[in-house]
Amino acid sequence: MHDPRTHLDDGTLVRWLDGECRSEEERLVAEHFEHCERCQQTAAELDRVSERLGGALLAFDDAVSRSKEEILVRSSIVRRFFARLSRMPALVRWTAGAVALTLVVTASPVRAWLVAAWERITNEAEVVSEPGTASTYAVSFAPTDSLVVIALARTQETGVLWVIPDSGGRVSTRILGAGLDDAISIGGGVVRIANDSMSGASYEVIVPVSLAYIEIRVGERLVGRYRPASLVGRVAIRLGAQ
Amino acid sequence: MGAMAGRSDLPKADALFDEFGGSLARYVARLTGDGDEADDVVQEVYLRFLERSPANDANLRAWLFTVATNLVRDRARERHRELLQRQDEQLPSTTRAETRVELADARRELTALLAPLGQRDRTILLMRSEGFPHREIAEAVGTTTRSVGTMIARALRTIRKHIAGTRRREEHDDHA
């Protein structure tokens, strides 16, 4: 039982501030406050420091999310450019488009890129994951092949790509996104696993949501592309003997 | 421990992270002062959950926060650097200068308040700011429920003392 002649200890005051007191303790604190200004002041003081900390935390949260939003907004420059273009008069739009297309297509690096992109489109299936599901690839696999998992990052976000064999252990690599908007680029997130005994093994690939795609290759052969749609995307790869 | 032993937990993990992933990332960002680090830690917690999900489902949220706290501590130890000493690191150049300044200022303010505290006290205060009841905070840091109030009060008093000391130094500098 609390002696009303003694001051409340700090722990009790914090419990009271946090609504953690049981009803009896709550009543005792209220009674004590009626005649003890000092304890009221102490509680108010603790509350003020809490509020100051709370304010600093919220300001930090805001600054972090604004910084992240800005990265995303900046990465949508290309999208905005095309949005503006679409608002121009049709004749201007088509003329500008034709000139730009001619210039771009005739440039040899662009032509090479277009050819490669076409090959990708015609040779692969894109899988968009649903939260709570895993996409599974059944892959024929020769002993001389190596499994290659490539993280294709957009913007300049970072993350970690994990490849987890069911035999235990993990392989991970740091991803540093280098792309802009949906112009995907390989940002250094490549995991290669070369192992003769891989046939029949299963792998789980864990990717951060900020990534645009995961490419899974066996040797040079593209097996599939994966786009995460939940907080942490994942894809299962089951390798079968060729 | 098989890395895929928790495969049957995948839907549960997804649901759990859909619900608490955001607040977990916010908590870790506050603890480390680094939003990117927070994303990495959340991923790692997800993996830990798949590998070693707790036998008791009664309080998975507290479990997630405890694992995240331990990971932050381990990562800091591995890198041989103190927590919350990252305000001078280069911020992403993709953000505007004023955004970078704003983030640096907010981080400096938060660092100044939390710097005088040990990791346990920081954890307690940050879990409290996430709305955890004292009982769950006590479980996370390994103490009794009743002690949590005392520890919070002590941490708040330390912060207050630190603020007062800083203010005195600033006033002294102004007069000098």
Any domain includes A1: no
What is the reported pLDDT for A9? Answer: 92
Judgement on whether residues A235 and A128 belong to the same structural domain of the protein: yes
Residue B3 to residue A166, Cβ atoms within 8 A: yes
Residues A2/A31, Cβ–Cβ less than 8 Å = no
Q: Which domain holds residue A208?
A: 124-241
Per-residue pLDDT tens over the stretch A119-166: 554 444 444 444 444 444 445 545 555 556 655 544 445 556 666 555
Any domain includes A2: no
Judgement on whether residues A233 and A150 belong to the same structural domain of the protein: yes
CA distance A78 to A101: 16
Any domain includes A237: yes
Q: Which residues in chain A have Cβ-Cβ distances shorter than 8 Å to B148?
A: 11
Residues A96/A85, Cβ–Cβ less than 8 Å = yes
Judgement on whether residues A134 and A236 belong to the same structural domain of the protein: yes
Q: Which of A61, A96, A119 is the last residue of a domain?
A: A119
Q: Where are the alpha helices (DSSP H) in B115-144?
A: 119-129, 134-141
What is the reported pLDDT for A187? Answer: 40
Residue B146 to residue A158, Cβ atoms within 8 A: no
CA distance A151 to A191: 8
CA distances from A153 to A3, A173, A182, A214, B73 (A): 64, 13, 9, 8, 28
Judgement on whether residues A228 and A188 belong to the same structural domain of the protein: yes
Mean pLDDT of A81-93: 68
Q: Is the pLDDT of residue B97 over 50?
A: yes
Per-residue pLDDT tens over the stretch B54-91: 777 778 888 899 999 988 888 877 665 544 544 444 44
Judgement on whether residues A174 and A221 belong to the same structural domain of the protein: yes
Judgement on whether residues A87 and A137 belong to the same structural domain of the protein: no
What is the reported pLDDT for A147? Answer: 58
- Who among B21, B92, B105 is closest to A71 (CB)? B92
For position A232, which CATH number holds?
Answer: 2.60.40
pTM score > 0.95 for this model?
Answer: no
Judgement on whether residues A102 and A129 belong to the same structural domain of the protein: no
